[in-house]
Structure 1
Amino acid sequence: MELRIEQLQAWARELGFGSIGVADVDLSDAEEGLQAWLHAGFHGEMDYMARHGTKRARPAELVPGTVTAIMVTIDYAPADPGWLGQAWAALADSERAYVSRYALGRDYHKVVRARLQRLASRIESEVGAFGYRVFCDSAPVMEVELARRAGLGWRGKHTLLIDSGRGSTFFLGTLYTDLPLAAAAQPGADHCGRCVRCIDACPTGAIVAPYRLDARRCISYLTIELKGAIPEPLRPAIGNRIYGCDDCQLACPWNRFARAQATGEFAARAGLDAATLIELFGWSAERFDAQLAGSPIRRIGHERWLRNLAVALGNSAGDAPVVAALRARADDASPLVREHVAWALGRLASTAGHPPAVQPVARGEPNPVHNAT
Structure 2
Amino acid sequence: MQGWARELGFSQIGVAGVDLSSAEPGLMQWLAQGFHGDMQYMQAHGLKRARPAELVPGTVSVITARMDYLPQATLGRALEEEDRTGAGPERGGWQAVEFARLERPGEGIVSVYARGRDYHKVLRARLQKLADRIAAAVGPFGHRVFTDSAPVLEAELARRSGQGWRGKHTLVLNREAGSMFFLGEIYVDLPLAPSGLVTAHCGSCQACIDVCPTQAIVAPQRVDARRCISYLTIEHAGAIPEALRPLVGNRVYGCDDCQLACPWNKFAQASTVPDFDERPALSGRPLAEWFAWDEDTFLRRTEGGPIRRIGHERWLRNVAVALGNALRATGDPALRAALAARAGDPSALVREHVAWALAQEPLRAAGSIE
State whether TM-score is above 0.5: yes
| 1:54 pairs with one of 47, 56, 60 | 47
Instruction: Name the counterpart of 1:342.
Output: 355
Say whether 1:333 aligns with 2:346. Answer: yes
TM-score, normalised by the number of residues in structure 2: 0.92
| 1:201 pairs with one of 191, 202, 211 | 211
| 1:37 pairs with one of 7, 10, 30 | 30
Q: Distance in 2 between matches of 1:228 and 1:119?
A: 39
Measured after TM superposition, the shift of residue 354 of structure 1 is 5.3
Instruction: Name the counterpart of 2:124.
Output: 113
Measured after TM superposition, the shift of residue 188 of structure 1 is 2.0
Q: How does 1:298-309 map to 2 (within 5 A)?
A: 298-309=308-319
> Alignment RMSD, CA only?
1.1
Say whether 1:178 aligns with 2:189. Answer: yes
2:59 and 2:187 in contact (8 A); partners too: yes
Considering fraction of residues, name the structure with more helix.
Answer: 2
Q: How does 1:209-224 map to 2 (within 5 A)?
A: 209-224=219-234
Q: How does 1:1-373 map to 2 (within 5 A)?
A: 8-79=1-72, 80-81=75-76, 82=78, 83-184=94-195, 186-316=196-326, 317-347=330-360, 350-351=361-362
Instruction: Name the counterpart of 1:362.
Output: none
Measured after TM superposition, the shift of residue 86 of structure 1 is 1.9
Measured after TM superposition, the shift of residue 54 of structure 1 is 0.5
Measured after TM superposition, the shift of residue 259 of structure 1 is 0.6
Measured after TM superposition, the shift of residue 273 of structure 1 is 1.3
Q: SS in structure 1 opposite 2:185?
A: strand
Q: SS in structure 2 opposite 1:71?
A: strand
Question: Which residue identity lines up with residue 249 of structure 2 in the other structure?
Answer: G
**Total equivalences in the alignment:** 345
Residues 183-227 of structure 1, C-alpha deviation per residue, up to 9 Å, x if partnerless? 11x322110000000000100000000110000000000000000
1:131 and 1:178 in contact (8 A); partners too: yes
Q: Distance in 2 between matches of 1:297 and 1:332?
A: 21
Q: Distance in 1 between matches of 2:15 and 2:273?
A: 25
Measured after TM superposition, the shift of residue 353 of structure 1 is 5.0
TM-score, normalised by the number of residues in structure 1: 0.91
Residues 18-74 of structure 1, C-alpha deviation per residue, up to 9 Å, x if partnerless? 111000010001000000000000000000000001000001111000011000001
Measured after TM superposition, the shift of residue 149 of structure 1 is 0.4
Q: Distance in 1 between matches of 2:204 and 2:163?
A: 21
Residues 316-359 of structure 1, C-alpha deviation per residue, up to 9 Å, x if partnerless? 02311100010010000000000000000011xx336559xxxx
2:165 and 2:172 in contact (8 A); partners too: yes
Q: Distance in 2 between matches of 1:354 and 1:309?
A: 25
Question: Which residue identity lines up with residue 332 of structure 2 in the other structure?
Answer: D
1:97 and 1:240 in contact (8 A); partners too: yes
Q: Distance in 2 between matches of 1:353 and 1:174?
A: 52
Q: Distance in 1 between matches of 2:318 and 2:236?
A: 11
Q: SS in structure 1 opposite 2:27?
A: helix
Percent of aligned positions that are identical: 62
Measured after TM superposition, the shift of residue 91 of structure 1 is 1.6
Stretch deviating more after TM superposition (202-211 or 264-273): 264-273
Q: Distance in 2 between matches of 1:205 and 1:336?
A: 25
Q: SS in structure 1 opposite 2:218?
A: strand
